Amino acid sequence: MTGTTLPAPRAPFRPQTLIPYAVLVLATLPILVLYVWLTYSSFFPRIEGFRPVGPFTLENWRFLWDPGSVDQLRNKPAIIPLTINTFLFAISTSVVVVLISSMAGYALSRLPFPGRRMFLGGVLLLHSFPSVTLLIATFIVLRQLGLYDRLLGVILVKAAFELPFGVWIMKGFFDTVPWELEMAALVDGASRLRTWWRIVMPLVKPGLLALGILTFVQGWNEFILPFVFMPSGSQQTLSTFVRAILGEGRFVDYGLLTAVGLYYVAPVLVLFVVAQDQLMRVYAGGVKG
């Protein structure tokens, strides 16, 4: 596809060429409408269908500066500690996954050791294995380890669930690094660990960044694990908070809900726009339906 291909002759304009665009726009419209609607619903007192009722307002956002005045938020944890919890959860998961995956990925890429094939096979197997089926047993494991209802426990479970993907991706990145530099360092007497950290890791920075961002987003978004394994209010994350507001019956204050929802999703959207290339690079392998 590179090199000497001739530029395609410019076809005369025909209305048919617009058909694929029209179909794409129509098919994508529901998604676009949902997000646009989430955004503007959060700025009106009440929305009926597409029609805002009442004037533009920041009322729905007062959970940020005056949570005490919002009925639905009484007896609920405050938004700032929740945000910090969610951030801590996401960033710790991300760091643990990136670090452990790059150690294992390096070993699998470079070191011959007994059981290597088995481990690689296991990693691939677990990558497609639906880990959510193990939730009940994981609950028992956490109870036995004394990590139930603690942020650390959920971080470890989430990290373990993301690990097979991380190891596989990092192995791929290490496979592309030429070995001459490493060999020179090793011949000069540097240890494996030092060579890995000082020489090889800097060479796979784009990979580390991509995996780090992706795992951060997965952690930030995670719902089931905090929902099941951190039932105490003080340990909640934004996802369980949103679910708690939503779960309060049919007469939910949707203005508040959309504002909190937009607050929660906004960092991810920003990250997606900024780091789209990195995310796209690793996304196809990381998805679980």
CB 138 within 8 A of CB 148: no
Annotate each residue in 175-214 with x if it binds another protein (CB under 8 A) or - if it does not, as one string: ----x--xx--x-----xx--x------------------
Interface with another protein includes 44 (CB under 8 A)?
no
Interface with another protein includes 95 (CB under 8 A)?
no
How far is 157 from 134, CA to CA, in rounded Å?
11
In the range 126-155, which residues lie near another protein by CB under 8 A? Answer: 126, 128-141, 143, 145
Interface with another protein includes 87 (CB under 8 A)?
no
DSSP-derived 3-state class of residue 76: coil
Name the residue nearer to another protein (CB basis): 68 or 160.
160
Q: Which residues contact 97 (CB under 8 A, 6 or more apart)?
A: 159, 162, 163, 166, 211, 212, 215
Interface with another protein includes 160 (CB under 8 A)?
yes
Residue from 3, 12, 68, 114 in contact with another protein (CB under 8 A): 114
Name the residue nearer to another protein (CB basis): 34 or 58.
34
Interface with another protein includes 64 (CB under 8 A)?
no
Q: Which residues contact 157 (CB under 8 A, 6 or more apart)?
A: 138, 142, 225, 229
CA-based end-to-end distance of the chain:
33
Nearest CA-CA partner of 85 in 1, 150, 7: 150
Structure tokens at 206: 């784009």
Stretch touching another protein by CB under 8 A, among 59-67, 75-83, 202-210, 263-271: 263-271
Stretch touching another protein by CB under 8 A, among 40-48, 55-63, 71-79, 204-212: 40-48
